[in-house]
Amino acid sequence: MKSWLKVSSKSDFSIYNLPFGIFSTNKKNKRIGVAIGDHVIDLHACNSLDLFKDLHIESYVFKNSFLNNFIELGKGITSKVREIIQLELINENSLIKHNSNCIIPINTVEMHLPVNIGDYTDFYSSIEHASNIGSMFRDPSNPLLPNWKHLPVGYHGRASSIIVSGKNIHRPKGQIMPLDSETPIYSSSNRVDFELEMGYIIGKNSSLGSSISTTNAEDYIFGKVLFNDWSARDIQKWEYVPLGPFLGKSFASSISPWVVTMEALDPFRVAGPIQEPNVLDYLKFDRLKNYDINLSVSITPEDSNIESIVCNSNFKYMYWNMNQQIAHHTVNGCNLNVGDMMASGTISGHTKDSYGSMLELSWGGKNPIELKDGSTRTFINDMDTVIMKGYCEKNNIRVGFGEVKSKILPST
Ligand code: CA
């Protein structure tokens, strides 16, 4: 496939990708766009040309602050919209090509949160990450808790503070228990960290009391984004017993603005790690459920403005796959809604340069890592910009996520 629009071979937004997002410009208010190379296709303008006439979609679906109404149409419709845009971008005589109103340079748009997120669940599904944390805080010879290989551990997070790439956040404040102290203090966090994760957006409602099988789980996944699950390790350490993460996590999570569809990711399926011991029947699955997605994290200090990659990981390392997470999430009858966000948990690999958090990279703050500008980090400093990127590549076909980028500002 080749588009008449010029697309660099290094672009994440190839003709094979066509992710959906919500954009605006100084002339156009929020609406759905599709990214291709250095351009955004305005789906509301396309709809005005009757491009989707046969699909009978009402125009408010495209001129909308969120993708939810679009996603609710179901994959039968949304994948057809994507195919129509794909054909338009290939066909030299297409309507889009001759209507400049449909094509907008990507550097002139503002991107917004793509979905109105109802509920957010964070899993803990990387065995390397869970083992690193267990080794650091418990027992290196037996790092995993007894439940870990039997169920995808997760917790209910906070949806209201999920923000889009480009929005900066202030260093959070809260209760911290200093070393050698018996009483906590109120302070800015000294251990702000990123967590390299991927999120997926639920594309279909399920009903209360019903469960989703691993076989049917894919029908419920619309697409994926990069997910930086910001964490304040010192707040987390003091508060988490016995109910788990709370304010050390809920101050912000940042996501990439373009939602890459499962159709676009399909060619990049791979086998996941072998699961031993055998899982219970409701968690068993067939065929390839992991995805080969290269991931990286960089830190750019404000004063030097030199970017250093501190982590290279891959989504394929996940021990528990998305289908198993959905089957487990609903096994008790809990319902899922369109727009819910599920995050993978920190994605670490085997090697020290593949750890998906500063907590692991600096091993609990003991081993500072050096950046290209000569400065060192154990956690994230004020005015550091953290950027996560992700892409798949195979047979010269590239499908990527762009980036999720946020700067840590000083406490207010
Ligand atoms: Ca997390």
CA dist., res. 354 & res. 300, Å (int) = 18
Instruction: Look up residue 267 and give its two tokens.
Output: 């060619």
Distance (Å) of CA 91 to CA 45, 86, 98, 363, 397: 18, 9, 11, 53, 19
- Could you tell me which residues are beta bridge partners of residue 259? 20
Antiparallel, parallel or unpaired: β 253-255 and 162-164:
parallel
Sequence-distant (6+) residues with CB within 8 A of 360 are 129, 132, 133, 136, 346, 348
Task: Please give the distance, rounded to the nearest whole angstrom, from the Cα atom of residue 271 to the centre of ligand 1.
Answer: 23
Strands, E assignment, 315-374: 341-343, 369-370
**Surface-to-core class of residue 29, CB atoms within 10 Å of its CB (0-12 exposed, 13-18 middle, 19+ buried):** exposed
Q: Is 38 in contact with 5 (CB distance < 8 Å)?
A: no
pLDDT (0 to 100) of residue 336? 98
Q: What domains can you pick out in the chain, each with its CATH number?
A: 20-112 (2.30.30.230), 120-409 (3.90.850.10)
pLDDT (0 to 100) of residue 210? 98
**How far from chain centre, in Å, is Cα 408?**
19
Instruction: Look up residue 46 and give its two tokens.
Output: 């396309």
Q: Is 319 in contact with 289 (CB distance < 8 Å)?
A: no
129 is known as an active-site residue: yes
Task: Please give the distance, rounded to the nearest whole angstrom, from the Cα atom of residue 181 to the centre of ligand 1.
Answer: 28
Name the 3-class secondary structure at 89: helix
CA dist., res. 60 & res. 29, Å (int) = 12
Q: Which of 129, 170, 328, 350 is catalytic?
A: 129
Task: Please give the distance, rounded to the nearest whole angstrom, from the Cα atom of residue 124 to the centre of ligand 1.
Answer: 7
pTM: 0.98
Q: Is 382 in contact with 406 (CB distance < 8 Å)?
A: no
pLDDT (0 to 100) of residue 390? 98
Q: Near ion ligand 1, which residues have CB within 5 Å?
A: 122, 195, 229
Q: Is the dihedral of CA 262, 263, 267, 271 positive or negative?
A: positive
CA dist., res. 17 & res. 72, Å (int) = 21
User: pLDDT of the chain along its 412 residues, tens only?
Assistant: 999 999 999 999 999 999 999 999 999 999 999 999 999 999 999 999 999 999 999 999 999 999 999 999 999 999 999 999 999 999 999 999 999 999 999 999 999 999 999 999 999 999 999 999 999 999 999 999 999 999 999 999 999 999 999 999 999 999 999 999 999 999 999 999 999 999 999 999 999 999 999 999 999 999 999 999 999 999 999 999 999 999 999 999 999 999 999 999 999 999 999 999 999 999 999 999 999 999 999 999 999 999 999 999 999 999 999 999 999 999 999 999 999 999 999 999 999 999 999 999 999 999 999 999 999 999 999 999 999 999 999 999 999 999 999 999 999 9
pLDDT (0 to 100) of residue 299? 98
Task: Please give the distance, rounded to the nearest whole angstrom, from the Cα atom of residue 99 to the centre of ligand 1.
Answer: 44
- Could you tell me which residues are beta bridge partners of residue 185? 176
pLDDT (0 to 100) of residue 167? 98
Antiparallel, parallel or unpaired: β 260-261 and 231-232:
unpaired
CA dist., res. 171 & res. 408, Å (int) = 6
